[in-house]
Amino acid sequence: MLSRRAVIAGAVAASAGFHAVAQARNPPAGEPEGNPAPRTILRLERRNIEVTGKPASVYGIRQPDGTFGITTEVGKPFRIRVENRIEEPSLIHWHGLTPPWQQDGVPGISGPPIAPGGSAEYDFPLRFGGTFWMHSHQGLQEQLLMAAPLIIHDRRDRSDQQEIVVMLADFSFTQPDQIFAELKKGAGTPQPAAQGGATSVAAKVSMAGTAMAGAAAKPDLNDVKYDAFLANDRTLADPEVIKVEPGGRVLLRIINSSSMSAYHIDLGPLDGELTAVDGFAITPVRARNFPIAVAQRLDIRLAIPRTPSSHPILAVLEGDRKQTGVILVAGNAAVARIPDLAKLPSTALTLDLESRLRALRPLTPRKADRVHTINLTGDMTKYIWSLNNVAWNPSVPPLPIAKGERVELVMVNQTGMPHPMHLHGHEFQVVEIDGKRFSGAVRDTVLVPPGRRVVVAFDANNPGWWGFHCHLLYHLDAGMFTTLRYV
């Protein structure tokens, strides 16, 4: 998925900057005797990429042969050793999977982070296939691209289709802790007037929409001003160009690994068939434009025209003209240069598509045994983000639930910003939007726009201590996080 150039640059950086780390080779307790499936090694590394012509030092999650993330099969055990080769503690979360809770990768909840030079081992069954991803849940490492694809093949996959993974990310040359400090410092002050060419951090951090707007007000979007938007590590100035078969079939697996940015996927004149969201099958939806919130995934099938042609697959930032993407080329067609600004600004993401999605395999209909109402709350003037007006700290008690229950989470967004809400360790079904019940998509991350009410249902079938949070990185870090716990 990534360019050979980026892979080579990264490999050079890895060999120059890091020495081999001695690993404990003892099998973890409980590992079966005999001939277990080989363990896949994933290394957390520094690597160098080029963004808008300038070098950037970022993180990566790669196998020893340079493969980003992992592609595996349903039914195989997920047997992984994560080696931490960066200079600070880290821990990787398997976004959307349902491991035993101690292997979920949330520091302070699932377990301690992996120290520099250390490693951790994972071994659990994969219950379902689909498009997933992995990312650091430690500090703000995700902003430095500590993320990778996690693809699980299953019976839905066809041998006659070419699979293309497109990983979207937002990028800043400003360090993440500085971005966060500026968000906190700048919160509540009016947006500075346009300063021609000013590139100070303060100017990059938008103060737009500081009032905690109600449902009717214009939503407050994109509170970090990024330097670039990446698709598979590259911008449209030098995009990844992928050869496809004229007349062939393509499966796009689009992963929004951005820290703060949502997009509209623009297929141009091609009709796409959306077949899964967050890995879970839906009744297919045909369109040329699909919204994707932070942390969500879209599986989109395309039929490539028979004539030689090039097909940009674009992601347009919500409420903005900025765009990124990859180019599919069928036959010997010329590759046109695509500007990194769309002709018109896009709209804010809505729930129009979400309300039309129908799970192919919905939860068994059942009355909820327990309902938790979770108000999405915040104070933009202090850049404090919270759930039920409580900013997360380790003394916050977990939401009580019990094993075997059908649980519903009622999320009511009382802020002026959209929040993509993610539950760990369980897949949920969207069952209600603004009071209207329906059998919506099964997924792991759902967008709750300002003023809206979204209800999800899940079965408490994976006991442990689990995170539930807004997936906007700086909202999460500011406290928009809580936990559920049951035995």
Residues that bind Cu ion (CB under 5 A): 419, 470, 472, 475, 480
Q: Give the SS3 label for residue 257.
A: coil
Nearer to Cu ion, 378 or 425 (CB): 378
Show the tokens assigned to 437.
Answer: 């019940």
Nearer to Cu ion, 252 or 472 (CB): 472
Question: Locate tokens 């699909």: which residue?
Answer: 290
Nearer to Cu ion, 146 or 260 (CB): 260
Show the tokens assigned to 183.
Answer: 């968000």
Least separation in angstroms between residue 470's CB and Cu ion is: 3
Nearer to Cu ion, 85 or 475 (CB): 475
List C-alpha distances in Å: 466 to 36, 104, 220, 280.
29, 8, 29, 21
Least separation in angstroms between residue 148's CB and Cu ion is: 23
* CA-closest candidate to residue 413, choices 380, 447, 390: 447
Opening angle at CA 341, ends 225 and 447, nearest 5? 55
CA dist., res. 356 & res. 351, Å (int):
9
Least separation in angstroms between residue 383's CB and Cu ion is: 11
Nearer to Cu ion, 135 or 475 (CB): 475
* CA-closest candidate to residue 305, choices 285, 329, 334: 329
The neighbour count for residue 21, using CB atoms within 10 Å, is 13
What residue type is 335 in one-letter code? Answer: V
* CA-closest candidate to residue 165, choices 71, 73, 54, 101: 71
* CA-closest candidate to residue 430, choices 350, 371, 348, 356: 356
Least separation in angstroms between residue 385's CB and Cu ion is: 6
Show the tokens assigned to 99.
Answer: 């491991």
Contacts of 312 (CB under 8 A, 6+ apart): 266, 268, 325, 326, 327, 328, 336, 338
Nearer to Cu ion, 326 or 411 (CB): 411
Least separation in angstroms between residue 141's CB and Cu ion is: 18
Nearer to Cu ion, 47 or 469 (CB): 469
Pairing of strands 272-277, 77-84: unpaired
Least separation in angstroms between residue 413's CB and Cu ion is: 9
Nearer to Cu ion, 302 or 478 (CB): 478
State residue 244 phi and psi, 5-degree precision: -130, 160
